[in-house]
């Protein structure tokens, strides 16, 4: 690494940080563990959306997807999330043209969606 110019090292470090920072940082929770779900802010909404078959299509590099995940907080781990970098064909077949895209009752909704709107579209209660 001695021969690598300083700028290349800086770029390599930044890319490494971006890759590490793109993980969801989420732990796994059983969607049927009612106590655990209810302890999460937005947990009941996330559980309802998942039970109703709602899906979010996105990517780890998309800032709007990151905002949408933050809106759910730790409860995002309950959301049926399809990473379009990893499952490209599935996203293409679903008709996804931008990120994030939500699929609710067979209809696609592009862009960040307010949680109350998602709840209304899926006919879920919000706490």
CATH number of 41-127: 3.40.30.10
Q: Quick one: pLDDT at residue 42?
A: 86
Angle between helix 115-122 and helix 43-51 axes, rounded to 10 deg: 40
* Strands (E) located in the chain: 55-58, 80-83, 101-104, 107-110
Name the pTM for this structure: 0.73
Q: Quick one: pLDDT at residue 40?
A: 78
Q: Quick one: pLDDT at residue 41?
A: 81
pLDDT along the chain (127 residues), means of 10: 44 34 48 66 92 97 97 94 98 97 97 96 89
Q: Could you tell me if 118 and 49 are in contact, meaning their C-beta atoms sit under 8 angstroms apart?
A: yes
CB-neighbour burial class of residue 99 (10 A; exposed 0-12, middle 13-18, buried 19+) = buried
The arrangement of strands across the sheet holding 107-110 comes to: 80-83, 55-58, 101-104, 107-110
Q: Could you tell me if 105 and 72 are in contact, meaning their C-beta atoms sit under 8 angstroms apart?
A: no
Q: Could you tell me if 67 and 17 are in contact, meaning their C-beta atoms sit under 8 angstroms apart?
A: no
């Amino acid at each position: 690494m001695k021969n690598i110019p300083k700028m290349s090292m800086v770029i390599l470090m930044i890319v490494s940080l971006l890759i590490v920072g793109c993980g969801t940082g989420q732990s796994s929770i059983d969607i049927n563990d009612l106590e655990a779900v209810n302890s999460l802010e937005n947990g009941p909404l996330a559980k309802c959306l998942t039970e109703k078959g709602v899906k979010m299509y996105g990517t780890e590099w998309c800032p709007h997807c990151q905002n949408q995940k933050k809106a759910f907080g730790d409860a995002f781990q309950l959301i049926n999330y399809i990473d379009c970098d990893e499952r490209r064909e599935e996203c293409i077949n679903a008709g996804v043209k931008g990120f994030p895209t939500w699929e609710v009752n067979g209809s696609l909704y592009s862009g960040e969606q307010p949680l109350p709107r998602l709840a209304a579209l899926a006919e879920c209660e919000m706490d």
